[in-house]
Amino acid sequence: MAKMPTIVKVDEALRKMDNQIMNKAQVDSLLREYIKDDEVADYEALNEPGVQWEKQEEFMIALLKISSAKQKLSIWAFILEYPENYESLVANTKILKSACDEIFKNKLLENIFSYVLTIGNILNSGSPKGQADGFSLDILPKLNSIKDSNGKTVVHFICSLLKKEDENFENIKKNFPTVSEASKLAFAEVQSGLNKLKKDCRDQNAILQKITDKDEFVKKAEQLFEKYSKELEEADNKYIEAVKNFQNVVSFYGYGQNDSKYKNPEEFFGLLNEFLSDIDKSIPKTEPKKVFNRKHEVGKKVIENSNNMDALLKELKSRVNT
């Protein structure tokens, strides 16, 4: 058991909810070691004059005599844990909202997807698939399996085009800081965590209402539970709003309500996070610019056709159709 103040000080702490007298570890320890309800009668029967108790048992027996001690310890433990639990749930809701904004509003990703669509239509020209207005994001992992004779994938090719458009194009994932976080969260647990915190708050408040001695502890707790109730209602509404926003985003990308990605945000963001990682690995490195001290006129520039888009797409198409 954590080192405790005297029983007199514990009594004072439980009347005032005084964090200067007792800290979280001490509150948790007392609640954990509190004499169980079915053992109280046994202790009372044995607690006769002259009976010698162990120091810890003597302390816990004295704790039994403090009015509503167990109820207050339970309430206080919840109050001490609440801020961390609440902030964690709110943070996860913010991650869901931010990840959706990053995906839906980012012009660079829109540009990448436009290249994917264009290349897909060229590769599938002559078939109904070659006139598509969109594509399923499920195709993204497959882009690394379509390669030219040099082993360069469609992702490499798209990255080379983007690099030509912007020589500073690199580290694309810095544009999506919360997508990676969202891919690691189990959002069903966020909802269940929020529901549990709301239930625990109601349960502890119900315990509080049964305490008849309206001391400073009770008054402080009543104010806190009123605050918590409003915060949790607002947090619940924000989470519902974030989920609806997510569902609108995945619907935009063609996933229906029965699709697992519609129901599991971490699966949807995991797919995109993996694709962004593939992009990062495929971005051509920026070559340092060289400065030459020319002593004579530069010869005629030779134009190489190895990176010609038409030639590469023609080769890719022939490999896909064989």
Q: How many residues does the chain have?
A: 322
| Residue whose token pair is 């969260």 | 185
* pLDDT for 299: 39
> CB neighbours of 285 closer than 8 A, spacing ≥ 6?
none
Q: Which residues of the chain have pLDDT under 50?
A: 292, 296-307
* pLDDT for 81: 97
Q: What pTM, to 2 d.p., does this model score? A: 0.78
pLDDT tens digits, 283-293 = 888 765 655 45
What Rg do the C-alpha atoms of the chain give, in angstroms? 32
* pLDDT for 167: 85
CB-based contact 215:11 (threshold 8 Å): no
* pLDDT for 225: 98
Tokens found for residue 80? 């001490």
CB-based contact 309:317 (threshold 8 Å): no
* pLDDT for 136: 85
| Residue whose token pair is 């209402």 | 209
* pLDDT for 293: 57
Domains, in order of start, for the chain: 1-66 (no CATH), 68-322 (1.20.58.2220)
Residue 225: Cβ-neighbour burial (10 angstroms; 0-12, 13-18, 19+): buried
The three-state DSSP-derived secondary structure of the chain is CCCCCCHHHHHHHHHHCCCCCCCHHHHHHHHHHCCCHHHHHHHHHHCCCCCCCCHHHHHHHHHHCCCCHHHHHHHHHHHHHHHHHHHHHHHHHHHHHHHHHHHHHCHHHHHHHHHHHHHHHHHCCCCHHHHCCCCCHHHHHHHHHCECCCCCEHHHHHHHHHHHHCCCCCCHHHHCCCHHHHHCCCHHHHHHHHHHHHHHHHHHHHHHHCCCCCCHHHHHHHHHHHHHHHHHHHHHHHHHHHHHHHHHHHHHCCCCCCCHHHHCHHHHHHHHHHHHHHHHHHCCCCCCCCCCCCCCCCCCCCCCCCCCHHHHHHHHHHHHHC
